[in-house]
Amino acid sequence: MRVGILTGGGDCPGLNAVVRAAVLAGTQRHGMSFVGFLDGWRGVLDGDVVPLDEERVRPLLAVGGTVLGSSRTNPLAGGVEQGVQRVRERLAALGVDALLVIGGEDTLGVATALHEAGVPVVGAPKTIDDDLSATDATFGFDTAVQTAVEACDRLVTTGASHHRAMVVEVMGRHAGWIALHTGMAAGAHVTLLPEEVVDLDAVADVVRAVLARGGAPLLVVSEGAPVLGQQAVKDAPVDAFGHVQLGGAGEQLERELQRRVPGLSSRVTVLGHLLRGGTPSAADRVLATRFGLSAVEALAAGRLGTMAALRGVDVVQVPLAEATGVLRTVPEARRAETAGLRW
Ligand code: F6P
């Protein structure tokens, strides 16, 4: 079996570890051969492929980003039927028997449509946002949170020196998992999530209280938090999957605090794409490797239209369609754990 691998959507630490595990296991255990499509679905549409063999992938375990490149190209944007047909023709022309698609809700949504049209495909989930409901975890999240916490630990010391409120904006479009875990691990006094209404007066009260006891407030805000009642959108066009570019939540929060707390000294740091870059943590390398191994076993067993997923401590294969169902947002119970506490 000749397998084409692609990585689509926003990159995240661990993508290369999936590719490495899939190629090594597929070659050694099942006699498969592999090619990589460059830049996600763009590479499929353009027939842009590179060979992937054991020698090429062996050094990739700890390499951040994706050596295959990524894009937000949507092959179905001009219509599902034509899109599917084009993909089918490309795969046939290149002698590719099946696809291993590594992506988030958008990329796997395309994979689901292809599977429904009879194209042999399996998937592996990725996103630093950790918001896919079909899996208990996605690789990339652990690394992103670790990076954010290290940044906060540094910001806390300079904030304390200057008796300053430090606002830290982290990624998280629809789900606040990165903000929630960063806030908890960094000891933030305030954590704002996309899932919650923001009470700016209450936030200002916390800031005043922390300053009054000689502390330096740390506020972690998700880019998707509705600071002014709705998400802060950058003046940018929507991508091929209809997403707007977010940005500005941290600045909005700082501005509102300045209004409410006279004489406040404050600074904003937007961590943004720092959270997507760099070498994956050990936990992410393990999860990514297990997803790669599982996806190859699914291909070998003919369990097409499935996706590797973590359930508890086990990696299982679930229907691809589940990946693109409901987003896994932060539930009320997790938010209630820390509600009302003064850190
Ligand atoms: O979906 C992952 C994510 O990191 C989001 O948190 C963020 O909004 C988005 O990607 C930004 O992606 P880009 O700037 O690459 O379009």
Alpha-helix residue ranges (DSSP H) falling in the chain: 15-30, 41-46, 54-57, 80-94, 105-116, 141-162, 177-186, 200-212, 249-260, 282-300, 320-323, 332-336
**Residue 168 DSSP code:** E
Give the per-residue pLDDT at 242: 83
Q: How far is the CA of 10 from the centre of ligand 1 (A)?
A: 6
Amino acid at 53: D
User: pLDDT tens string for the chain (343 positions)?
Assistant: 999 999 999 999 999 999 999 999 999 999 999 999 999 999 999 999 999 999 999 999 999 999 999 999 999 998 989 999 999 999 999 999 999 999 999 999 999 999 999 999 999 999 999 999 999 999 999 999 999 999 999 999 999 999 999 999 999 999 999 999 999 999 999 999 999 999 999 999 999 999 999 999 999 999 999 999 999 998 777 888 888 999 999 999 999 999 999 999 999 999 999 999 999 999 999 999 999 999 999 999 999 999 999 999 999 999 998 887 789 999 999 999 999 899 9
Q: Can you tell me the distance from the alpha carbon of 67 to that of 56, in angstroms, rounded to the nearest whole number?
A: 10
Give the per-residue pLDDT at 329: 97
- Catalytic-labelled residue, pool 39, 129, 131, 284: 129
Give the per-residue pLDDT at 163: 95
Cβ proximity of 323 and 103 under 8 Å: no
Nearest to 123 by CA among 136, 110, 133: 110
Please, which residues bridge with residue 165 across strands?
A: 266
Q: Which atom of ligand 1 is nearest to the CA of 11?
A: 15
Known active-site residue 129:
yes
Ligand 1 atom 10, closest CA: 10
Q: Can you tell me the distance from the alpha carbon of 122 to that of 101, in angstroms, rounded to the nearest whole number?
A: 6
Q: Which residues contact 93 (CB under 8 A, 6 or more apart)?
A: 47
Give the per-residue pLDDT at 299: 98
- pTM score, two decimals? 0.96
Q: Can you tell me the distance from the alpha carbon of 134 to that of 216, in angstroms, rounded to the nearest whole number?
A: 39
Q: How far is the CA of 64 from the centre of ligand 1 (A)?
A: 16
Burial 46-72 (b: 16+ CB within 10 A, else e): eeebeebeeebbeebbbbbbbbbbbbb
Q: Tokens 């010391």 appear where?
A: 157
Q: Which atom of ligand 1 is nearest to the CA of 246?
A: 8
Give the per-residue pLDDT at 239: 86
Residues with CB under 6 A from ligand 1: 10, 104, 127-129, 171-173, 223, 246, 276
Give the per-residue pLDDT at 174: 93
Give the per-residue pLDDT at 83: 93
Q: How far is the CA of 172 from the centre of ligand 1 (A)?
A: 8
Q: Can you tell me the distance from the alpha carbon of 3 to that of 100, in angstroms, rounded to the nearest whole number?
A: 7
Burial 221-230 (b: 16+ CB within 10 A, else e): bbbbbbbeee
Give the per-residue pLDDT at 238: 85
Q: What does 235-286 look like in DSSP terms, one character per residue?
A: S----TTSPPPB--HHHHHHHHHHHHSTT--EEEEE-GGGGT-SPPPHHHHH
Q: Can you tell me the distance from the alpha carbon of 270 to that of 232, in angstroms, rounded to the nearest whole number?
A: 13
Q: Which atom of ligand 1 is nearest to the CA of 239?
A: 16
Ligand 1 atom 15, closest CA: 10
- Best mutation site among 173, 238, 241, 270 for ligand 1 pocket (most ligand atoms within 8 Å of CB): 173
In this structure, the chain runs to a length of 343
Give the per-residue pLDDT at 209: 98
Amino acid at 56: R
Q: Tokens 């297990």 appear where?
A: 290
Ligand 1 atom 12, closest CA: 10
Ligand 1 atom 8, closest CA: 173
Q: How far is the CA of 171 from the centre of ligand 1 (A)?
A: 7
Nearest to 6 by CA among 154, 161, 148, 126: 126
- Best mutation site among 129, 241, 243, 246 for ligand 1 pocket (most ligand atoms within 8 Å of CB): 129
Nearest to 36 by CA among 74, 62, 7: 7
**Residue 332 tokens, joined:** 């009320």
